[in-house]
Structure 1
Amino acid sequence: MKFRLPLTALMLGVALAATPVLAKKKEPVTPAPAALPTFVDPDTTHDPDDVLFLDLSDGGRVAIRLMPQWAPHHVERIKTLAKQGFYDGIIFHRVIDGFMAQTGDPTGTGQGGSDLPDLEAEFNSMPHLRGTVSMARTNDPNSANSQFFIVFYPRFALDRKYTVFGRVIGGMQYVDKIHRGEPPENPTRIVQASLASQHKAPPDFAATQAPAAPITADQLSNSESN
C-alpha cells in the first residue's frame, strides 16, 4: 500500500521519505493561540447525514461538516467507511505541531488504507484554513483512499493540491490536544466514528477509564473461603 500523507515538500521544495520517522520522545502539545480564528459555520441546519462525529480517546467529540458539493466522491467514501466502523480504533499516526493531524490508516504506519479503490482527485478552491479536513495522498494526485488530515494552522500551499471535503464545526479544542509525533509515543485514537444520522452516543469514557472499586473485607473473606 502506498504512503499517504499531505506533503510538506510542497512548501519546502524537498521530497519526503516514504518511511515515517519515529518520534524519539513525546512532543508537548501547543495550544492554538486565542487570536487565531477558527472556522465558524453560519449554517446550523445541517443534514445529519453530512455531519461526521469523531469520538477521540482523550474523551472529546469532534464534529465535522462534510461537504459533498465540494468533493462528492470523497465525502461518499468517508461516509461508507464510517458506517462500516473502519475508523474505529485507528490512531492519529502523523501529527505535526503547527501543521496538521493525520489518521485513517488501520496499520498506523501511514502506508495503509481500505480495500476500496483509490479515488480520483476532486481538487477544489476551498482553502486549507484552521479546521479544514482534507484527504491525504501520495505524489499521485489520484491516490487518496481512506487517510485524511485536520489542519491546525492555515497551509495555503496545499490548496488545489489536496481534496478538501469538510470543516470542523465543533470540538476543535480536542483536535488541538491530539498527541504529536510521527508516530506519537502515546497516540490519540478514534474510539468511534459515526454520522449524526446514526444517532450513536459518545462512548462512556468515565466508565471505561474509572479505576476499579476497592475490594471490601467481605469480598476478600468470601474469595478466601472459596
Structure 2
Amino acid sequence: MTPVSRRLSSGLFLPLMTLCLALVGTGAKAEDLVTIETSLGEMTFAFFPDEAPQTVANFKRLAQSGWYEGKSFYRVVKGHVIQAGSLDENSEPMVEAEFNHHPHLKGTLGLARDEDPNSGSTEFYICHGARPHLDGRYTVFGQLVSGEAVLDAIANVEVIEKYYDEDKKVAFHEPKTQVTIKAVRLH
C-alpha cells in the first residue's frame, strides 16, 4: 500500500476534501482560516481579510498570543448569537469598525462591541441564525466553513438569564455548564 492510499484509507480523505470544497466555496486561502477548539468540539472559519483587515489582524494577534485560551462563551442566545471573550476590562486596543457587505448569516463571525461602533476589541460573536438587522452595524470578519454541529451544540446548552445593566435592556444568557475555548489555531 502506498503512503497516499494508506492516508486515504485511514479516514483523512473525506475531512480533507470537505475542507478543500469549503475553501473553494468561500474563495479563502489556507492562511485565512482559523479553528476554534471548544469544550464541545471544533469550528473552522474563513476570514475576510480584504473587507476587515484590522479586525482580522487583531483577532490573529490575540489568537497567536493565547489570549482566548480558557475564555468561555459567556452569552448564548439560541437562534441569535453565541458570544465569547471576556466581560472584564482589559488593556487590549480597540479596533475601528470595518462595516462591509457580508450579511449576518448562520455561522457569521463578527466583532462584538458596545454602543460605540469603534469599541470592538477582544470579544466576538458567531451567529446561530440569519440576523439581517445587524447588517452594516457590526464588523463581519469571517464565516463558518465547518463545525456547524458544534455551533448548534453550543447554542442549545441550557442557560440562565442574567442582566448586567440596571435597565434590563440586554439579557446575557449564560450557560449553566461553561463552554470554554481550549485553543484558537490559525492555518
TM-score of the superposed pair, with normalisation by structure 2: 0.76
CA RMSD of aligned residues (A): 1.7
Q: 2:76 aligns with which of 86, 90, 95?
A: 95
CA distance in 2, matches of 1:141, 1:99: 20
Query: CA contact under 8 A between 1:129 and 1:155: conserved in structure 2?
Result: yes
Q: CA deviation at 1:175?
A: 0.9
CA distance in 2, matches of 1:189, 1:195: 18
Q: Larger C-alpha radius of gyration, 1 or 2?
A: 1
Q: Which runs of 5+ in 1 are unaligned?
A: 1-39, 106-110, 197-226
Query: Match of 1:186?
Result: 177
Q: CA deviation at 1:94?
A: 0.3
CA distance in 2, matches of 1:103, 1:79: 15
Query: Match of 1:128?
Result: 104
Query: Match of 1:163?
Result: 139
Q: CA deviation at 1:116?
A: 2.0
Runs of 4+ residues deviating >4 angstroms: none
**Structure with a larger share of its residues in strand:** 2
Q: Give identity over the alignment, percent.
A: 35
Query: Match of 2:128?
Result: 152
Q: 1:50 aligns with which of 14, 23, 32?
A: 32
CA distance in 1, matches of 2:90, 2:34: 18
Query: CA contact under 8 A between 1:137 and 1:144: conserved in structure 2?
Result: yes
Q: CA deviation at 1:84?
A: 0.4
SS in 1 for 2:59: helix
Query: CA contact under 8 A between 2:28 and 2:47: conserved in structure 1?
Result: no
CA distance in 1, matches of 2:26, 2:103: 21
| 1:79 maps to 2:55 | no
SS in 2 for 1:177: helix
Q: Which runs of 5+ in 2 are unaligned?
A: 1-21, 160-172
Query: Match of 1:35?
Result: none
